[in-house]
Amino acid sequence: MAAVEERRSAALALDPEEARRARGARLERVGRWLLPILIMVAAVWLWDRLCVWNEIPRYILPRPGVVAATLITDRALLFSSLLVTLRITFLSLLLAVFGGVGLAILFTQSKWVEMSFFPFAIVLQVTPIVAIFPLINIYVDNQTAKLLLCSWIVAFFPILSNTTLGLNSVDRNLLDLFRLNGASRWQQLRLLKLPAAMPYFLGGLKIAGGLSLIGAVVAEFVAGASGQSSGLASRIIEAGYRLNAPRLFAALFLISLTGILIFLALSLVSHLALRRWHESALSAER
């Protein structure tokens, strides 16, 4: 597609301004990828140099190469921990989707239900999870359930709030059209409200994806302090106690990478679901 465009612009006799604009657009396409990579490489290089120049011991700040080596040598330990964290993250995201969308649908069935219960959702959201967790720790015995609950509380709110907004932003004329044609509540929900809420839901999902990872890690931190968990966060705590900075950094790297991958995956899902109709997913045609 880009090749076709380039051939077309090459064939066209462009005035200097248009040619400059076309060149600018081409540069921007390359720069969008190249620049962040270059900056990242430079930052890693600088990190490495700082360690060497200042002779920083590896238990304070390990060189990037050491962190990479630790990723390989400690891979069995780190990846099994990563799996534990991932399991909590995805399970809680799944629960957040069902819980958030389910509650949102319930809310839109009746204004009264929404008025009554939405404030509770907000209270749950604004109370720092670190402060709630000791309570959960007392009341819930099962370790997985504990972590899930904690991570779910963090992740479900953006989905609930966005989906509720989406379900409530249906074109009034379309609602009238459905009424005129004698649509049932179920038809109205399935054929009108849910599709209309889709872009809002997907926006919430992208936020919730990151938050469920954060929720899982925070929960592990709190639980890990009492030596009950084996997720990545508890590896970080453990490595901190043992002054094993390379492993700490390696675990941190894995968490970051996971967050980025979750975000990219959900962006892709969102793009695929909306590309045929929603403005946000359309390529700039004009």
Q: Is 182 in the site for another protein (CB under 8 A)?
A: yes
Q: Is 107 in the site for another protein (CB under 8 A)?
A: no
Q: Is 277 in the site for another protein (CB under 8 A)?
A: yes
| Shortest Å distance, C-beta 165 to another protein | 17
Q: Is 214 in the site for another protein (CB under 8 A)?
A: no
Q: Is 278 in the site for another protein (CB under 8 A)?
A: yes
Q: Report the distance separating Cα 284 and Cα 196, nearest Å.
A: 22
| Shortest Å distance, C-beta 278 to another protein | 7
For residues 148 and 92, is the Cβ–Cβ distance under 8 A? Answer: yes
Q: Which stretch binds another protein (CB under 8 A): 24-32, 78-86, 151-159, 272-280?
A: 272-280
Which residues 6+ apart lie within 8 Å of 130 measured at CB?
218, 222
- Interface with another protein: number of residues (CB under 8 A): 21
Q: Is 135 in the site for another protein (CB under 8 A)?
A: no
Q: Is 281 in the site for another protein (CB under 8 A)?
A: no
Which residues 6+ apart lie within 8 Å of 129 measured at CB?
150, 153, 154, 215, 218, 219
Candidates 176, 264, 265, 272: give the one binding another protein (CB under 8 A).
176
Q: Is 174 in the site for another protein (CB under 8 A)?
A: yes
Q: Is 283 in the site for another protein (CB under 8 A)?
A: no
Residues 237-266 binding another protein (CB under 8 A) are none
Q: Is 271 in the site for another protein (CB under 8 A)?
A: no
Q: Is 127 in the site for another protein (CB under 8 A)?
A: no
What CA–CA distances, in Å, run from 4 to 9, 13, 26, 33? 9, 16, 13, 21
Residues 183-202 binding another protein (CB under 8 A) are 183, 187, 191-192, 195-196, 198
Q: Report the distance separating Cα 211 and Cα 154, nearest Å.
A: 6
Q: Report the distance separating Cα 212 and Cα 99, nearest Å.
A: 13
| Shortest Å distance, C-beta 163 to another protein | 16
What CA–CA distances, in Å, run from 22 to 14, 16, 18, 112? 9, 10, 6, 55
Residues 77-96 binding another protein (CB under 8 A) are none
Task: Look up tokens 């932003």; give the residue.
Answer: 169
| Shortest Å distance, C-beta 254 to another protein | 38
Q: Is 276 in the site for another protein (CB under 8 A)?
A: yes
Residue 110: what are its φ and ψ, rounded to 5°? -150, 125
**Minimum CB distance to another protein smaller for 131 or for 180:** 180
Which residues 6+ apart lie within 8 Å of 223 measured at CB?
133, 137, 143, 146, 147, 229, 234
| Shortest Å distance, C-beta 100 to another protein | 21
Residue 192: what are its φ and ψ, rounded to 5°? -120, -60
Q: Which residues in this chain contact another protein in the complex, by CB under 8 A?
A: 171, 173-174, 176-183, 187, 191-192, 195-196, 198, 276-278, 282
